[in-house]
């Protein structure tokens, strides 16, 4: 902003009053010190008069995303920026995965430019570059299992890196003299370029681990900005925003409202704050400073308010202000608390002819989790919530717990008959969970092949101790078990409906069957006439090894159902029970009883029978009666 | 610095400036060292004597509020202190304030930040490791503690934390009870006589109704103290000798009651206090609930939780009270039905919540059974 010294004493608001040319308004959405707070950091009040019980829950990545989306919806000319410390010193849900969940969440939030803060250097510059560029974390040359979970990246096993640009104007590689990361970013609105210069506090080396900043030089903040100004102007840029990871605190007896600038951030005794000292040296071309580091909320701008409490009555008095730059002009300076509690909503009005900022309107807004509109927005678009929930599940103390041991790989690949090693195990687990009379009294279980996800149950070496995380990967859908009564004819019809062309079936879907069920099918037979024979041997799968508790009963012989009206209690999952995968015959079951979740049944089966010190699950054990399905010509 | 000297210093701080005249020369030197250590931060305001005096007073006010159980006042004091200096002691005060108010998740998340952002101090890492372990994050707690040990070998707080966390049932004692890192709630409510001891864990299942192991209730005088530190007198209402469960009358907030027994293999949690010590936070262990052990009414615990504590609650995947632990088995709500008569169950499980949320939900309903003699 070019403005004479004579005008310096005027408030920022006066600029807009004096201007009459064509303008474009740019919505700048700023925040700082997110520190990987993907989940709500708790409650927060707009100022210190708000009693703890009346402070709303705030933050959480999904609500930050919704709040940002709402602000962006009001103006297509928008940009989302940060003032550093978005990672590091973060809760377990982010830290356990090397802060990759935070990066993926911030990508979804739509962050575009972010200054580096001191905590971006906690793990060193090489790790910061990895987070910027993507790729998996290796520990001593070995891929770390907690990296590249990829819940918010292109695919499992990948990490896309930050889609936003980290900026480090004052961080220079000592050896090359180049900045570690770009010094600034530019975004164009209606043909007008706006520059965002990003940097951390010069004192960063004194507050992080020395190895984290080895080989780097941290230069003076204001001098760095001032040196860039001519370069930006040479590109036709007059609108300049500084994102700096340095800040101050409100300090007068007011209430420290999130839109206050109490004491103009002066420290006790009247000295300027750290951020005040930087702004005081800034070139007059800088139009807005978005700051951070102190975790404080303040708004030193045309939107400043003094909030006081007198005899219990709260008064709000506007006091347009800013912090003086090197020519004495008051520059808007903001900070949005920390942890995603607050967003700074800034409208930059830019003269399209001069390309310079003519007014700045800034307001700090709580990211209020009780806001009905935001609640609705999260419900409508749960993408970020799902991401966070997914990482929370992976960070759970349950995730790494061993549930059983297997002697060999049990993949989800089917043999010629359609039988999967993983599918047979799952069907047995579902039978065990529903075999007791009070839980369904099932005699057989059928599992849809599509519900046995890749890769099945496999490990790096055998015997392999399966974890809950492994099981969840293979059975991620949270289906519940349903036990129902089917007739012998319906059992035959169910098996026939596995094949294309029978009763509307569009693909071949061979159900996985539990111990005691045996059948054969003919590949060359016509649709609805493929099942050659079917038998059922009552089997107690709750003991190891499983034992037959009765003689084998023929249900189908040479394609004929021997006793069509005889009934059996059969377990499937709720997806199949409602006709999923085209198995409409299951919607005709009777005496339907709901049960446990499928993964619970799997865990109960493995942990009760095949968890050390018990012998491992061995598909070669004759008691498992594998294979159970035979394909005939 | 010895724990005794530190405690005397902190007692001085808690008492406020009014007792400054009683300081000895060594205490003054000690205070200066403490101030240097507490404020070993790159915050230039540390040199502003008046502001630092205000800060010390606010910290003392916050601690005194916690001793009274007034977490709102404590939060306000610590927040004001935080505006005067960015320092670990203030943040640990906030962490403990939120935990004493029952906000485990908030405390845990903020403590992660304190531990990561205040590497100039040893105690935040130790406190974070303790909090992680409370909520069942055994591996993460171990890693956090190892990091603190690597940075602060020989530190009294870190070493004491390591010793306790190496045991199956850690107890906060000695230096671990010092502020600002105190690894236990402040005891509030009824004042307990000398010689009292924690003998078992129980669960408040309805307002005024607590279930505890019957074998632990022989003493004439009993109290229960919840995970927020609040103690109250308890009296025996009835004893079910078949189940081995006693019902006590004692005030407080109950856990939500599961509408049915959880399925075998479903995620579950057992929560119990260490025996011994005083006011404490309970320990959560996560796992998968076992099936019936073919003994009437009982089920296998399933969860890998250490032996050695009497009683304890078992909670389902939604954090609802699902039964009482008894060694390596547990009594589900169906077996406890005679003792739960008249209590409206919570809505059936539809959403599975994280272990941290379970811990937060049950913190105020888990109780220590305390006896004398």
Question: Which residues in chain B are contacts of A97 at CB distance < 8 A?
Answer: none
**pLDDT for res A208:** 81
SS3 B285: strand
pLDDT in tens, B314-361: 999 999 999 999 989 999 999 999 999 999 998 877 788 999 999 999
**pLDDT for res B296:** 64
Domain borders along chain A are 5-395, 402-632
% of residues, chain A, pLDDT over 90: 87
Mean pLDDT of B30-44: 51
- pLDDT averaged over chain B? 87
Query: Measuring CA to CA, which residue among B206, B349, B333 is closest to residue B261?
Result: B333
**pLDDT for res A20:** 61
pLDDT in tens, B220-231: 789 999 999 999
What is the distance between the alpha carbons of residues B176 and A552, in angstroms, rounded to a whole number? 66
Question: CA B40: distance to chain centroid?
Answer: 28
**pLDDT for res A61:** 98
Q: Is the pLDDT assigned to residue B207 strictly greater than 80?
A: yes
SS3 B286: strand
Mean pLDDT of A56-69: 98
In contact, A41 and B110? CB cutoff 8 Å = yes
pLDDT band with cut points at 50, 70 and 90 for residue B50: confident
For residue A622, is the peptide bond before it cis, meaning its omega torsion is within 30 degrees of 0?
A: no
Q: Is the pLDDT assigned to residue B35 strictly greater than 50?
A: no
For residue A516, is the peptide bond before it cis, meaning its omega torsion is within 30 degrees of 0?
A: no
| Residues near B135 by beta carbon (within 8 Å), at least 6 away in sequence | A397, B104, B108, B284, B355, B356, B359
**pLDDT for res B253:** 86
Q: Is the pLDDT assigned to residue A97 strictly greater than 60?
A: yes
Question: Which residues in chain B are contacts of A35 at CB distance < 8 A?
Answer: 113, 117
What the block records as the tokens of B284 is 């959560």
Query: Measuring CA to CA, which residue among A529, A528, A554, A552 is closest to residue A539?
Result: A552
Are A604 and B79 in contact (CB < 8 Å)?
no
pLDDT in tens, A584-599: 999 999 999 999 999 9
In contact, B175 and B6? CB cutoff 8 Å = yes
Q: Is the pLDDT assigned to residue A184 strictly greater than 50?
A: yes
**pLDDT for res A19:** 57
**pLDDT for res A145:** 85
SS3 B200: strand
Question: Which residues in chain B are contacts of A43 at CB distance < 8 A?
Answer: 106
In contact, A42 and A351? CB cutoff 8 Å = no
Helix, strand, coil shares, percent, chain B, to 5:
40, 20, 40
Please report, to the nearest 10 degrees, the dihedral formed by the alpha carbons of residues A123, A128, A130, A136 taken in order: 30
Q: Is the pLDDT assigned to residue B133 strictly greater than 60?
A: yes
What is the distance between the alpha carbons of residues B6 and A599, in angstroms, rounded to a whole number? 51
**pLDDT for res B16:** 33
Are A604 and B136 in contact (CB < 8 Å)?
no
Least confident segment among A447-456, B17-26, B170-179: B17-26
In contact, B189 and B225? CB cutoff 8 Å = yes
A212: left (phi over 0), alpha (psi -120 to 50) or beta: alpha
What does the DSSP assignment read for A307-327?
EEEETTEEEEEE----EE-TT
Are A599 and B136 in contact (CB < 8 Å)?
no
Are A274 and B115 in contact (CB < 8 Å)?
no
β partners of residue B16: none
Q: Is the pLDDT assigned to residue A181 strictly greater than 90?
A: yes
- Determine the angle formed by the axes of helices B25-38 and B3-15, rounding to 10 degrees: 90
CA distances, B142 to each of B119, B138, B165 (Å): 17, 6, 8
Mean pLDDT of B130-138: 97
Question: CA A529: distance to chain centroid?
Answer: 48
Residue A52's CB is within 10 A of a number of other CB atoms, namely 17
What is the distance between the alpha carbons of residues A180 and A126, in angstroms, rounded to a whole number? 10
Q: Is the pLDDT assigned to residue A607 strictly greater than 90?
A: yes
In contact, A445 and A576? CB cutoff 8 Å = no
What the block records as the tokens of A550 is 């009765």
Domain A5-395: give its CATH architecture: 4-Layer Sandwich (3.60)
Q: Which member of B51, B140, B286 has the closest CB to residue A398? A: B286
**pLDDT for res A558:** 97
Which DSSP helix (H) or strand (E) runs through A290? Answer: strand A286-291
Closest residue in A to B108 (Cα) is: A91
Q: Is the pLDDT assigned to residue B5 strictly greater than 90?
A: no
% of residues, chain B, pLDDT over 70: 87
Are A91 and B98 in contact (CB < 8 Å)?
no
Q: Where are any strands of DSSP class E within B149-301?
A: 188-189, 197-206, 209-213, 222-226, 230-240, 245-249, 267-272, 283-288, 299-300
Query: Measuring CA to CA, which residue among A497, A504, A535 is closest to residue A630?
Result: A535
What the block records as the tokens of B94 is 């906030």
Question: Which residues in chain B are contacts of A53 at CB distance < 8 A?
Answer: 72
Best of B87, B264, B349 to disrupt the A interface (most A CBs within 10 Å) is: B264
A vs B: CB pairs below 8 A: 140
Question: Which residues in chain A are contacts of B354 at CB distance < 8 A?
Answer: 392-393, 396
Query: Measuring CA to CA, which residue among B259, B313, B242, B308 is closest to residue B284?
Result: B313
Question: Which residues in chain A are contacts of B72 at CB distance < 8 A?
Answer: 51-53
Which DSSP helix (H) or strand (E) runs through A103? Answer: helix A100-109
Q: Is the pLDDT assigned to residue A573 strictly greater than 80?
A: yes
Mean pLDDT of B51-56: 91
Q: Is the pLDDT assigned to residue B20 strictly greater than 80?
A: no
Query: Measuring CA to CA, which residue among A287, A271, A297, A278 is closest to residue A192?
Result: A287
Mean pLDDT of A189-211: 92
pLDDT in tens, A230-251: 999 999 999 999 999 999 999 8
What does the DSSP assignment read for A558-577?
TTEESSTT-EEEEEEEHHHH
Positive/negative CA dihedral, B36, B38, B44, B45: negative
What the block records as the tokens of A157 is 């096993």
% of residues, chain B, pLDDT over 90: 73
In contact, A260 and A306? CB cutoff 8 Å = yes
> What is this model's ipTM?
0.85
Q: What angle do CA A351, A353, A356 make, to 5 degrees?
A: 45
Q: Is the pLDDT assigned to residue B292 strictly greater than 90?
A: no
pLDDT in tens, B69-124: 999 999 999 998 998 888 999 999 999 999 999 999 999 999 999 999 888 899 99
Q: Is the pLDDT assigned to residue B40 strictly greater than 60?
A: no
**pLDDT for res B15:** 33
Query: Measuring CA to CA, which residue among A408, A409, A452 is closest to residue A428?
Result: A452
β partners of residue A410: A457
The secondary structure of A594-631, three-state, reads EEEEHHHHHHHHHHHHCCCCCCCECCCCHHHCCCCEEE
More confident residue, B348 or B287: B287
Query: Measuring CA to CA, which residue among A125, A53, A26, A10 is closest to residue A355?
Result: A26
Least confident segment among A263-272, A372-381, B33-42, B109-118: B33-42
Domains (range + CATH), chain B? 3-184 (1.25.40.10), 197-371 (2.40.10.120)
**pLDDT for res B6:** 35
In contact, A40 and A360? CB cutoff 8 Å = no
- pLDDT averaged over chain A? 93
**pLDDT for res B372:** 87
Give backbone dihedrals phi and psi of A494, rounded to 5 degrees, phi first: -60, -45
Question: Which residues in chain B are contacts of A88 at CB distance < 8 A?
Answer: 116-117
What is the distance between the alpha carbons of residues A170 and A224, in angstroms, rounded to a whole number? 6
Q: Where are the alpha helices (DSSP H) in A396-526?
A: 421-434, 468-474, 488-496
pLDDT in tens, A35-47: 999 999 999 999 9
> Minimal Cα–Cα distance from A37 to chain B, Å?
8
What is the distance between the alpha carbons of residues B33 and B18, in angstroms, rounded to a whole number? 21
- Indicate the CATH number of A402-632 among 2.40.128.110, 3.90.780.10, 3.40.50.720, 3.90.550.10: 3.90.780.10
Q: Which of residues 24-83 of B touch A (CB under 8 A)?
A: 41-42, 44-45, 48, 50-51, 71-72, 75-76, 79-80, 83
Residue A249's CB is within 10 A of a number of other CB atoms, namely 27
Q: Is the pLDDT assigned to residue B249 strictly greater than 90?
A: yes
What is the distance between the alpha carbons of residues B221 and A619, in angstroms, rounded to a whole number? 59
Residue showing tokens 């939120």? B98
pLDDT band with cut points at 50, 70 and 90 for residue A428: very high
């Amino acid at each position: 902003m070019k403005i004479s010294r004579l005008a310096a004493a005027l408030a920022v608001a006066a600029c807009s009053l004096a201007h009459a040319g064509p303008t474009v308004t740019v919505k700048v959405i700023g925040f700082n010190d997110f520190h990987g707070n993907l989940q709500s950091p708790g409650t927060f009040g707009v100022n210190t008069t708000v009693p703890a019980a009346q402070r709303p829950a705030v933050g959480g990545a999904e609500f930050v995303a919704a709040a940002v989306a709402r602000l962006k919806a009001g103006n297509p000319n928008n940009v989302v920026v940060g003032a550093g410390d978005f990672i590091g010193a973060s809760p377990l849900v982010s830290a356990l995965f090397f802060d990759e969940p935070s990066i993926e969440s911030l990508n979804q939030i739509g962050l575009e430019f972010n200054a580096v803060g001191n905590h971006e250097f906690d793990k060193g510059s090489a790790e910061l570059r990895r987070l910027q560029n993507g790729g998996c974390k290796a520990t001593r040359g070995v891929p770390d299992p907690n990296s590249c979970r990829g819940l918010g990246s292109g695919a499992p096993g990948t990490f896309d890196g930050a889609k936003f640009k980290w900026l480090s104007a004052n961080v220079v590689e000592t050896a090359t003299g180049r900045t570690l990361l770009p010094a600034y970013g530019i975004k164009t609105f209606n043909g007008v370029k706006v520059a965002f210069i990003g940097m951390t506090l010069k004192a960063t080396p004194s507050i992080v681990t020395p190895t984290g900043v080895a080989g780097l030089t941290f230069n003076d903040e204001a001098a760095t900005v001032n040196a860039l100004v001519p370069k930006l102007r040479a590109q036709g840029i007059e609108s300049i925003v500084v994102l700096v990871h340095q800040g101050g605190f409100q300090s007068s007896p007011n209430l420290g409202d999130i839109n206050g600038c109490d004491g103009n951030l002066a420290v006790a005794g009247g000295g300027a704050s750290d951020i005040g000292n930087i702004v005081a040296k800034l070139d007059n071309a800088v139009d807005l400073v978005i700051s951070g580091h102190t975790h404080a909320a303040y708004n030193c701008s045309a939107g400043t308010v003094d909030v006081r409490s007198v005899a219990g009555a709260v008064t709000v008095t506007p006091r347009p202000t800013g912090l003086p730059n090197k020519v004495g002009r008051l520059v808007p300076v903001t900070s949005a608390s920390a942890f995603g509690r607050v967003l700074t909503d800034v409208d930059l009005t830019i003269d399209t002819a001069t390309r310079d900022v003519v007014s700045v309107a800034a307001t700090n807004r709580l990211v209020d989790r009780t806001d009905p509109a935001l609640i609705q927005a999260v419900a409508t678009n749960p993408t970020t919530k799902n991401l966070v929930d997914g990482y929370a599940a992976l960070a759970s103390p349950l995730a790494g717990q061993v549930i059983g041991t297997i002697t060999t790989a049990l993949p989800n690949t089917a043999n010629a008959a359609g039988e999967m090693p993983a599918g047979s195990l799952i069907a047995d687990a579902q039978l065990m969970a529903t075999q007791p009379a009070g839980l369904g009294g099932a005699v057989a279980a059928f599992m849809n092949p599509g519900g046995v996800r890749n890769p099945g149950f496999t490990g790096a070496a055998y015997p392999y101790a399966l974890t809950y995380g492994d099981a969840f990967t293979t059975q991620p859908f949270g289906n519940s078990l349903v036990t129902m009564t089917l007739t012998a004819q319906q059992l035959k019809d169910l098996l026939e409906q596995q094949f294309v062309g029978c009763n509307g079936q569009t693909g071949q879907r061979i159900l996985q069957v539990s111990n005691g069920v045996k059948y054969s099918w003919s590949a060359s037979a016509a649709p609805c006439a493929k099942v050659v024979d079917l038998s059922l041997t009552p089997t107690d799968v709750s003991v190891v090894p499983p034992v037959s508790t009765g003689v084998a009963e023929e249900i189908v012989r040479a394609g004929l159902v021997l006793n069509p009206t005889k009934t059996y209690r059969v377990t499937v999952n709720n997806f199949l029970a409602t006709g999923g995968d085209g198995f409409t015959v299951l919607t005709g079951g009777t005496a339907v009883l709901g049960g446990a979740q499928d993964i619970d049944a799997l865990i109960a089966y493995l942990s009760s029978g095949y968890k050390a010190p018990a012998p491992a699950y061995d598909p070669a054990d004759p008691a498992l009666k594998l294979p159970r399905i035979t394909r005939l010509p | 610095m010895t724990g005794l000297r530190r405690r005397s210093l902190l007692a001085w701080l808690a008492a406020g400036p009014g007792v400054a005249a009683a300081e000895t020369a060594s205490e003054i030197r000690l205070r200066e060292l403490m101030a240097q250590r507490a404020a070993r931060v790159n915050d230039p305001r540390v040199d502003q004597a008046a502001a630092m005096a205000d800060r010390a007073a606010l910290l003392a006010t916050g601690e005194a509020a916690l001793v009274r159980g007034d977490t709102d006042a404590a939060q306000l004091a610590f927040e004001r202190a935080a505006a005067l200096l960015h320092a670990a002691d203030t943040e640990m005060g906030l962490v403990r304030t939120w935990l004493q108010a029952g906000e485990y998740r908030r405390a845990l998340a903020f403590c992660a930040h304190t531990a990561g952002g205040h590497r100039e101090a040893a105690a935040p890492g130790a406190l974070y490791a303790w909090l992680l372990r409370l909520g069942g994050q055994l591996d993460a707690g171990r890693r956090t503690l190892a990091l603190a040990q690597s940075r602060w070998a020989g530190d009294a707080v870190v070493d004491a934390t390591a010793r306790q966390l190496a045991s199956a049932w850690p107890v906060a004692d000695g230096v671990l009870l010092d502020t600002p890192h105190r690894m236990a709630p402040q005891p509030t409510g009824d004042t307990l006589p000398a010689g009292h001891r924690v003998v078992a864990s129980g669960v408040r299942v309805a307002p005024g109704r607590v279930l505890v192991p019957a074998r632990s209730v022989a003493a004439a005088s009993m109290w229960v103290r919840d995970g927020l530190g609040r103690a109250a007198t308890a009296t025996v209402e009835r004893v079910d000798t078949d189940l081995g469960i006693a019902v006590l009358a004692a005030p407080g907030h109950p856990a939500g009651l599961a509408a049915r027994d959880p399925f075998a293999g479903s995620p579950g949690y057992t929560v119990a206090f260490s025996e011994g010590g005083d006011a404490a936070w309970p320990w959560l262990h996560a796992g998968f609930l076992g099936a019936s052990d073919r003994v009437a009414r009982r089920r296998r615990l399933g969860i890998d939780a250490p032996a050695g504590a009497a009683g304890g609650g078992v909670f389902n995947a939604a954090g609802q009270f699902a039964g009482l632990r008894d060694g390596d088995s547990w009594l589900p709500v169906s077996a406890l039905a005679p003792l739960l008569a008249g209590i409206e169950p919570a809505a059936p499980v539809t959403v599975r919540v994280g272990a941290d949320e379970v811990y937060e939900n049950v913190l105020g309903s888990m109780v220590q059974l305390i006896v004398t003699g």
